[in-house]
Amino acid sequence: MLDFLLDVDTPVELANYLSLNRVICDLEITSRKRLFERLAKLLVIDLEEQDEKKIFRALVEREKLGSTCVGDGLAIPHGRIEGLLEPRIAIVRLAEPVDYGARDNKPIRMAFALLVPKDATDEHLKILGLLAERLSDNDVRQQLYIAGSAQQLFDSFLADSALSKAAG
């Protein structure tokens, strides 16, 4: 899963881009559109200079290029935003799987949304690669699926030393 993207020199720590107030455990929604709306609400938290609708449109526009579902019930919707100062991540685990338009026709259960500054191409690719690598670990996925709260989901996602990598 996107392993080829990790050939960059700068270390990236996923923990720098995630905060507990952007994590939801067992969200009840009924569609991919509603998921994107909720992700936009999370990603705009503490961003005075950004607009929730703009973030929603960025996620939807990226999705039109091809599904951001990575398999195993997981999706990594992402977008670029003009004027954003630093990347941010939001995590949502759904109460019930939702159709996502995935190539494998399987619904998703979790979304890891990434928002990056418009011109942050290298950093965008590094973070996507780390997210994909992290989520390809079966033990990590199992811990995420059994987490009983947003705090446990947050802790499970950030647990262990594999998060800080200097690739190359």
What CATH code would you report for 21-160? Answer: 3.40.930.10
**Domain boundary assignment for the chain:** 21-160
Q: Among the options 32, 78, 124, 165, which is catalytic?
A: 78
pLDDT at 160: 63
The rounded distance, in Å, linking the Cα atoms of 128 and 111 is 13
Does residue 78 carry a catalytic annotation? yes
The tens place of each residue's pLDDT in the chain, 168 residues long, gives 333 333 333 445 889 999 999 999 999 999 999 999 999 999 999 888 788 999 999 999 999 998 898 888 999 999 999 989 899 999 999 999 999 988 888 899 999 999 999 988 788 889 998 998 899 989 999 999 999 999 999 999 998 634 333 333
pTM for this entry: 0.85
pLDDT at 12: 59
Contact 3, 157 (CB under 8 A): no
pLDDT at 9: 39
